[in-house]
Structure 1
């Protein structure tokens, strides 16, 4: 019986220090298959890439961890939730899996984690897939700027953050900017909410929300990194994103004029509605990046 080229995917944990990181990884037939590290965003987890892994993972090695505070990853109760610490765990994860060189998919919270990793190990970054992952002040909506400006001492700040952590807030992030919400599977935001409602998770998300300003403070450094290293870059962007509007996508071209830009009439979670358009773009991009010899894992 013939089979369709759907990925064989494993789901397991690996200990990075005192953090037990859950991840999904496809197992292509080629041992030297191109590697794509998938860094998810808020309020989701590696499950947001499940369909992308299905359609591309038979040909490429796709690796998607859950960040601490998300999904099935387990962090100790005294874990400090900052973007620096999330990057520390991701750096350890990459080292533990022996990922020598890879393309990194940066989305939402995954972007500041990925750019920190790129600063620390530019030699590992073969290219970037940027999907609604911001690195420019132009890419912050008015609501996003207000949100980032919140401080613990700001009256009502914690309450405003926690509203975003409710089922209504999670669903809003999926539906805003999507012309046809019937294309969205409700399972996605319902599963996100299950993980958000786990003990301690909302406190972790509040801490990360209050730390988001540390990312904006690094924007100029990341832009310098882009200009200096000029990684091959594919940009796919949902223009209806309520947090990161279209100017944030176009801003990359200022530092990466050869980047490939594709805009889609959808919201923040573009893969949920435009997988059929975005997956072939990623496949073509990976093929071009890996046109030469592919480094094997150590």
Structure 2
């Protein structure tokens, strides 16, 4: 039993040496929602959502390796397959067998890899600006990364260029504000924490490794889509329509494959929870809250 409303913060030590830091709230007697964050943030992005869901659900939000307060061994290899394996082991360690999966940004390929590993564990899916379709990759963000994918991971031109991108605080801040119609309601503490955590040793190298590895997620898109077609689970797609990273076409594409889908657009950007948290919480409760 965890405190309803305000989350507790814990660390789960895994056999591989990872120490997964996570937030948890609500009663374990309720349906579990596993919240998976993305780049460039951590479970902190769910700080406002968790209290809104905790009276209806058991909510758990880990920090992915390379982000937030999760720590790993020095020889950890930062690939999306390894991130997914870490979260798979984490879910098993904390004793969760069935869950509604909330995926955002990098959390999407991590979470959908979980779904491929254990399809029957995922009893519902919430997609918030998280992509599983090639048409969802907006070239305003992805064009240089697609060029990097044609090169070796250690290509120095791209490595140095992308390290500079990661290390520039403005490239974190703009993800919170681009496409937002009411910037005054965005809490700056979110991107300030993200920026501080990205200043740690080797952080830019980690992120460049993941940039290059992302192409392997694109190769798995057909399998992710087949999962949606084969599992008649409720799917809620909530999307900031002004996102310059993942397009509205990527959101709409879920309706091709999911058979039980609700699609909602909001007049905001990539971090839709920063501006429309209450509305998204209401949609989650409407779709998944009935016993």
The reply to whether TM is greater than 0.5 is yes
Inter-partner Cα distance in structure 2 for 1:161 and 1:227: 36
Inter-partner Cα distance in structure 2 for 1:172 and 1:249: 21
Unaligned stretches of 5+ residues in structure 1:
292-298
In structure 1, the partner of 2:105 is 108
In structure 2, the partner of 1:156 is 157
Asked whether the equivalents of residues 6 and 55 of structure 1 are also in contact (C-alpha less than 8 Å), the reply is no
TM-score by length of 1: 0.91
Unaligned stretches of 5+ residues in structure 2:
none
Deviations 1:203-259 (A, max 9, x none): 111111110100101101111111111321000000111110100000000111430
Matches within 5 A, 1:33-44: 33-44=30-41
Matches within 5 A, 1:1-298: 7-16=5-14, 17-28=16-27, 31-149=28-146, 150=148, 151=151, 152=153, 156-165=157-166, 166-288=168-290, 291=291
Asked whether the equivalents of residues 233 and 260 of structure 2 are also in contact (C-alpha less than 8 Å), the reply is no
Inter-partner Cα distance in structure 1 for 2:183 and 2:161: 25
Inter-partner Cα distance in structure 2 for 1:178 and 1:163: 25
The secondary structure found in structure 2 opposite 1:164 is helix
Residue-pair matches, total: 283
Structure 1 residues 127 and 263: alpha-carbon distance in aligned structure 2, compared to 1, 3 A threshold: same
Deviations 1:12-37 (A, max 9, x none): 10112211110000033xx4111100
Deviations 1:28-57 (A, max 9, x none): 3xx411110000010000111011111211
The secondary structure found in structure 1 opposite 2:89 is helix
Inter-partner Cα distance in structure 1 for 2:17 and 2:4: 34
Residue 6 of structure 1: how far off its partner (Å): 6.1
Asked whether the equivalents of residues 138 and 247 of structure 1 are also in contact (C-alpha less than 8 Å), the reply is yes
Inter-partner Cα distance in structure 2 for 1:160 and 1:135: 26
Structure 1 residues 136 and 192: alpha-carbon distance in aligned structure 2, compared to 1, 3 A threshold: same
Deviations 1:247-294 (A, max 9, x none): 000000011143000001100000000012111101112224xx3xxx
Inter-partner Cα distance in structure 2 for 1:123 and 1:265: 34
Residue 148 of structure 1: how far off its partner (Å): 3.0
Q: CA RMSD in A?
A: 1.5
Inter-partner Cα distance in structure 2 for 1:91 and 1:24: 16
Residue 175 of structure 1: how far off its partner (Å): 1.0
Asked whether the equivalents of residues 125 and 235 of structure 2 are also in contact (C-alpha less than 8 Å), the reply is yes
Inter-partner Cα distance in structure 1 for 2:12 and 2:265: 36
Runs of 4+ in 1 over 4 A off after TM superposition: none
